[in-house]
């Protein structure tokens, strides 16, 4: 039997080769490959970086679906189904809106694949495929099989999991909805083994909150220290209150941490159920503590919350420049299906379209709901202005000098300048990207 995995792109603009600075390994696909029984031939197309061969000689197509890639995934599925080939789907979007995804596939996995994927394949081979399989919410990650990336060019960074889920319940977060507020740690010995097998010395732990369980992270840091890797992950700012853990992170090779500041406004934080994040008075001090240890911060902010007053856009960029963050993202709020935010906006009749991800002509950056303080168009423009300002060449230089003083490592400096430049260039390229459009529809080439 021949199985084809597909990682769909969000969409393509005319003439653009690849949108998205970070051509990262798709860990989801290597994870599924590892769970695939020996004897099944596998093939993989990464729609973000290569053409899909719709005539490929395969028996089964497996597509991973996120909300942003849903429109494109459904088009890809239709092309194979027209040939009579069975298509199965899984991932965040499938788990959020299973009924919708079943309209475009023959079978779905809701939740994690670990305890159901082999069964699904066996059922397919024995012509008894069910239409839905319910996986665990929090299956422990197995060792991924990265041989599936062969012949594809990705950044020399290994993506890896140290656990799944997050104990918090932020209103907008797809992770909370998926893992139901649970956190499942992965055995440290497995993490160490995976690092030893990795060809890269830079690791991105993709956990949504690696600080979810202090003792687990402490154990990981101790185990990582002798391995001399450089790593990054997503943490809560509260980590800065824990001197011992912060030091252990630094000693184990932590270079940059991604922190979701979300908003500078306390009412916004309370409304999104993230008031625990930090007390406003201590925010600057906590940032400085992390920087003092030589760890850079990738700060992420979200605009479009109900209490965003007019000055918040400029204030946020000023805050990001004051601390000379390594990277920053200025996204707009986006109601992902299955989240409490989506339900609230629906109840308040503020969703402009029922399913924005399927709307014809929906473009990356479009605001699919009615914000309280601005029009949707204003919000879109203000987010783009914030990005343009933060990534201005002079601001990159100012932040770069600070980054070198904080951590003079040449590899980190090279990453700083090359990636900030790329992110700056990406602002306008990514804006208005037609969601769902692919190479095969004249999106590029």
Point out which residues bind ligand B12 (CB under 6 A). 10, 20, 22, 24, 26-28, 31-32, 62-64, 66-69, 88-93, 96, 109, 112-114, 117, 139, 159, 161, 173-175, 206, 208, 331, 336
Q: How far apart are CA 403 and CA 296, in angstroms?
A: 7
Cβ partners under 8 Å of residue 353, min gap 6: 359, 362, 368
Within positions 190 to 219, which residues make up the interface with ligand SF4, using CB under 6 A?
Answer: 208-209
Contact mark string toward ligand SF4, 344..363, x via CB under 6 A = --------------------
Among 58, 65, 166, 297, binds ligand SF4 (CB under 6 A): 166
Work out what residue 114 binds among ligand SF4, ligand B12, none; the CB cut-off runs from 5 to 8 Å by kind. Answer: ligand B12
Nearest to 204 by CA among 421, 430, 419, 49: 419
Q: What share of the chain is helix, strand, coil (3-state, %, to 5)?
A: 40, 15, 40
Question: Residue 86: exposed, middle, or buried by beta-carbon count in 10 A (0-12, 13-18, 19+)?
Answer: middle
Nearer Cβ to ligand SF4, position 10 or 259?
259
Cβ partners under 8 Å of residue 406, min gap 6: 291, 294, 295, 296
Least distance from ligand SF4 to the Cβ atom of residue 234, Å: 7
Work out what residue 229 binds among ligand B12, ligand SF4, none; the CB cut-off runs from 5 to 8 Å by kind. Answer: none
Q: In what order do the strands lie in the sheet with 132-134?
A: 41-46, 2-7, 60-64, 86-90, 107-110, 132-134
**168 C-beta neighbours (distance < 10 Å), count:** 18
Among 175, 220, 249, 431, binds ligand SF4 (CB under 6 A): 175
Least distance from ligand SF4 to the Cβ atom of residue 199, Å: 29
Work out what residue 220 binds among ligand SF4, ligand B12, none; the CB cut-off runs from 5 to 8 Å by kind. Answer: none
Span interacting with ligand SF4, options 132-140, 164-172, 333-341, 384-392, rule CB under 6 A: 164-172
Q: Does 173 bind ligand SF4 (CB under 6 A)?
A: yes
Residue 424 CA, distance from chain mean position: 19
- Half-sphere exposure in the Cβ direction for 192 (13 Å, CA): 14
Number of residues that bind ligand SF4 (CB under 6 A): 9
Span interacting with ligand SF4, options 19-27, 167-175, 354-362, 365-373, rule CB under 6 A: 167-175
Tell me which residues touch ligand SF4 (CB under 6 A).
166, 168, 170, 173, 175-176, 208-209, 260
């Amino acid at each position: 039997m021949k199985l084809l995995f597909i990682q769909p792109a969000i969409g393509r603009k005319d003439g653009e080769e690849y949108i998205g600075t970070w051509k990262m390994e798709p860990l989801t696909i290597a994870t599924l490959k590892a769970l695939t029984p020996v004897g099944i031939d596998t093939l993989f197309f990464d729609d973000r970086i290569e053409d899909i061969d719709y005539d490929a000689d395969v028996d089964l197509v497996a597509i991973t679906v996120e909300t942003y890639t849903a429109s494109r995934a459904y088009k890809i599925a239709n092309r194979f189904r027209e040939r009579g080939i069975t298509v199965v789907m899984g991932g965040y979007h499938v788990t959020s809106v299973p009924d919708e995804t079943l309209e475009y596939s023959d079978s779905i996995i809701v939740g994690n694949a670990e305890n159901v994927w082999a069964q699904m394949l066996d059922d397919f081979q024995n012509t008894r495929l069910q239409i839905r399989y319910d996986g665990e919410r929090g299956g422990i990650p197995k060792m991924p099989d990265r041989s599936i990336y062969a012949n594809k060019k990705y950044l020399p960074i290994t993506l890896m999991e140290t656990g799944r889920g997050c104990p918090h319940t932020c209103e907008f977060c797809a992770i909370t909805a998926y893992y139901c507020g649970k956190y499942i740690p992965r055995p440290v010995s497995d993490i160490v083994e995976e690092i030893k097998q990795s060809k890269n010395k830079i690791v991105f732990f993709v956990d949504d909150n690696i600080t979810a369980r202090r003792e687990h992270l402490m154990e990981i840091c101790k185990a990582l220290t002798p391995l001399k890797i450089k790593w990054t992950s997503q943490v809560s700012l509260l980590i800065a209150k824990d001197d011992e853990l912060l030091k252990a992170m630094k000693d184990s090779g932590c270079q940059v941490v991604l922190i979701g500041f979300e908003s500078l406004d306390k009412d916004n934080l309370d409304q999104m159920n993230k008031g625990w994040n930090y007390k406003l008075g201590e925010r600057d001090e906590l940032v400085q503590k992390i920087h003092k240890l030589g760890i850079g911060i990738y700060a992420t902010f979200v605009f479009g919350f109900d209490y965003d007053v007019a000055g918040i856009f400029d204030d946020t960029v000023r805050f990001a420049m004051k601390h000379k963050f390594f990277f920053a993202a200025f996204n707009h709020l986006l109601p992902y299906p299955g989240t409490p935010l989506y339900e609230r906006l629906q109840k308040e009749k503020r969703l402009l379209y029922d399913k924005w991800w399927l709307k014809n002509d929906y473009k990356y950056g479009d605001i699919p709901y009615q914000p309280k303080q601005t029009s949707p168009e204003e919000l879109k423009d203000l987010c783009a202005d914030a990005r343009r300002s933060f990534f201005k060449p002079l601001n990159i230089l100012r932040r770069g000098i600070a980054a070198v003083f904080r951590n003079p490592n040449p590899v980190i400096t090279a990453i700083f300048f090359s990636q900030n430049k790329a992110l700056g260039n990406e602002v306008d390229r990514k804006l208005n990207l037609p969601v769902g459009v692919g190479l095969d529809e004249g999106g590029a080439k």
